[in-house]
Amino acid sequence: MTEHEKMQKGLLYLAFDDSLLADRQSAKELLFHFNSLRPSQKQERNALLQKLFGRAGNDIWVESPFQCDYGYNIHVGNNFYANHNCIILDGAKVTIGDNVLLGPNVGLYTAGHPLNVEQRIKGYEYAYPITIGNNVWIGAGVSILPGVTVGDNSVIGAGSVVTKDLAANVVAVGNPCKAIREIPKPRIP
């Protein structure tokens, strides 16, 4: 089994494998170009995101600077906005639904390192998928850790560290992040 296959299956893998290094280098080249474009170059910016991401929906905007590891594991729905300094470590799949807003300095981190010191020294890591539902708002400076799912319509307060799944229709805050209340369904007049 290749290191890439191990990474995709959530197994320990060697992050500095030549093939994975080449994939990350390819993404960094695209990101360098993306982050150098003028904001007015919307078509060029979106074309690069379409090339970088595994899936990029309609009406997406990612502010510069933006960083990721591979790009091809990022799947973004329609009407997506990521503010400045977004980082997505996408060793595993990152699925982002429709109508999602990310504040500045948001980090989505699928990658982690083993507790075993010998494994860490040898360069092993793991990656677990992150899923963000539809209509989610993630505040400034939020960190979402490996394996987390955020339910539809939820709001995560600024500075939170999300270590466990969050249900749909909740406001969640803190470190570790916890749901503090439900969001009522809107009343349609």
Catalytic residues, by residue number, are 113
Neighbouring-strand partners of residue 82: 62, 102
Q: Which two tokens stand for residue 187?
A: 């009343």
Angle between helical axes of 42-52 and 18-36 (0-180°, round to 10) = 170
Cβ 144 vs Cβ 165: under 8 Å: no
Q: Which two tokens stand for residue 101?
A: 């807003």
Name the nearest CA neighbour of 78 among 59, 93, 62, 64.
59
